[in-house]
Amino acid sequence: MTKSLEQRIRDYWNNQPCNVRHSKNTPGSLEFFQDVSARRYRVEPHIPEFAGFYLWQGKQVLEIGPGIGSDAAEFARNGADYYGIDYSTESVKLSQQRFDVEELEGTFICGDASDANTYENLPKMDLVYSYGVIHHFPAIDRIIDNAYNILKPGGEFRFMVYAKNSWKQAMINRGLDQFEAQAGCPYAKSYSKDDILDLLGSKFHLERLRQDHCFMYNVDAYKQGRYELEPWFEAMPEAMREAVKEYLGWHLLVKARRL
């Protein structure tokens, strides 16, 4: 029997939760989680500023797609009342294990963020946050509607999706790259600024939209834990590499406020 797209998406992320191979230490150990976070924030140093972890002390925060809990742990460490919804049962297990190991408090739900029933019994949120997740699900419009409904009036929706006008999308279009490091991703989509405005509609005010991040390292070296720039990026002055990230970055960072 042919699996539905939704089941293939769940299977894909269950088989290899995002960033799970970013440590040689035992999965689920404190050292494993420390390695994963260190690598994540080294390669994507724009995340802390975008998430603003320190801003949410004593606030209700819902993350759509926490994966194995790197950003979740930062929210919790900074005093947020944290909740996470993930489609992947394996990701939820690892996130919960991380919170147990690090003695953090939070609530994880395995569920479909496009289904309004998933949000039952949750409080209204000050922030809905999603980083690199909702572009992997076809019902993104329903996810955004649910984010609107769970937010308090004036609450923030911060999310990252892939950018259509980007270096990486150009490489994908030419068959020189793929959406994810692991092959076989069943669904992914990139977006333009106009696409974002259409998705937010009249429910949200777009406060900030910018691009960042271009993975410039040699993949084989990176898998071995070495950070070696590809020769064409190595040849660029630092200012030029920064311009690539700003104008052709793969990450479209959206900050919006519920009207």
Give per-residue pLDDT as tens, 40-74: 999 999 999 999 999 999 999 999 999 999 999 99
The string of pLDDT tens digits covering residues 12-43 is: 999 988 888 888 889 899 999 999 999 999 99
Q: What is the dihedral of CA 177, 9, 120, 159, to 10 degrees?
A: 0
> How many CB atoms neighbour CB 138 within 10 A?
14
Cβ-proximal residues to 65 (8 Å cutoff; 6+ apart), any chain: 84, 85, 86, 87, 113, 130, 131, 132, 133, 134, 136
- Structural tokens at position 91: 């990701």
Q: What are the structure tokens assigned to 13, written together?
A: 């992320």
By CB neighbour count within 10 A (0-12 exposed, 13-18 middle, 19+ buried), where does 220 fall? exposed
Report the distance separating Cα 62 and Cα 96, nearest Å: 15
